[in-house]
Amino acid sequence: MQIADNTVVAFHYTLTNDAGEVLDSSEGREPLTYLHGSGNIIPGLEKELAGHNSGDQVKARVEPSEGYGEVQPSLVQDVPRDAFQGVEDIQPGMQFQAQTEGGPLLVTVTKVEGDTVTVDGNHPLAGETLNFDVNVQEVREASSEEVEHGHVHGEGGSEEQH
């Protein structure tokens, strides 16, 4: 069966950047399982997987516009240290959930200078070209319930990944 809308796809992957550094991998874990056509994975990878079959090896290069987007400078802000009430030792790399006009946003501390903390709300892979090496494990027809809910149910499905 070919990967198409309303199919459930299970795949193993290794993700590298243009420097060849491994950013993520499913090695040693269950394959990633998603409902194709429902926006459960980044658009560029979903587009590259369409039409492939179980057992296929796929190399996909995904530009930022079809991955995690370009870096948005407006999501990098300096905030006063006292905005982090109850946190004694703020260090770069720490993550916090900020409340914004558009809803909650995960931000990462990038710099701490005196009473000023710089946070970045961009996805850590924003602006990166992503290189996926994918091994398609299984392709099956989605159940009507999976299609209705917009995600995979059960073993390895997104319900378990929330």
Residues 111 and 136 placed together within one structural domain of the fold: no
Tell me the CA distances in angstroms from 72 to 9, 43, 80, 95, one per residue in order.
32, 19, 21, 18
Residues 27 and 47 placed together within one structural domain of the fold: yes
| Separation of alpha carbons 123 and 69, rounded Å | 8
- Using the structure block, give the residue that is written with the tokens 């982090």: 84
Which residues are CB-neighbours of 66 under 8 A, at least 6 positions away?
Answer: 42, 43, 44, 47
Instruction: Report, as an integer, the average pLDDT of 34-49.
Output: 96
Q: Give the pLDDT confidence score for residue 67 in this predicted structure.
A: 96
Question: For residue range 130-161, what is the model confidence (pLDDT) as tens digits?
Answer: 999 999 999 999 999 999 999 998 754 444 43
- Percent of the chain, pLDDT > 90? 86
DSSP E strands in the chain: the ranges are: 7-16, 22-25, 32-35, 57-62, 76-80, 95-100, 103-113, 116-120, 130-141
| 8-state DSSP, 41 | S
| CATH number of the domain bearing residue 78 | 2.40.10.330
Tell me the CA distances in angstroms from 151 to 8, 26, 34, 97, 136, one per residue in order.
9, 19, 7, 25, 18
Residues 57 and 134 placed together within one structural domain of the fold: yes
Which one, of 45, 6, 39, 34, lies nearest residue 152 by Cα? 34
Residues 102 and 136 placed together within one structural domain of the fold: no
Residue 37 in any domain: the answer is yes
Q: Which two tokens stand for residue 133?
A: 């090496």
User: What is the domain count for the chain?
Assistant: 2
Question: For residue range 46-87, what is the model confidence (pLDDT) as tens digits?
Answer: 999 999 999 999 999 999 999 999 999 999 999 999 999 888
Residues 64 and 129 placed together within one structural domain of the fold: yes
Range of the domain at 87: 73-120
Residues 43 and 79 placed together within one structural domain of the fold: no
Which residues are CB-neighbours of 49 under 8 A, at least 6 positions away?
Answer: 3, 9, 11, 36, 58, 60, 134, 136
| Separation of alpha carbons 75 and 17, rounded Å | 22
Question: For residue range 91-140, what is the model confidence (pLDDT) as tens digits?
Answer: 999 999 988 888 899 999 999 999 999 999 999 999 999 999 999 999 99
Give the type of residue at 30.
E
Quick check: 162 pLDDT over 90? Answer: no
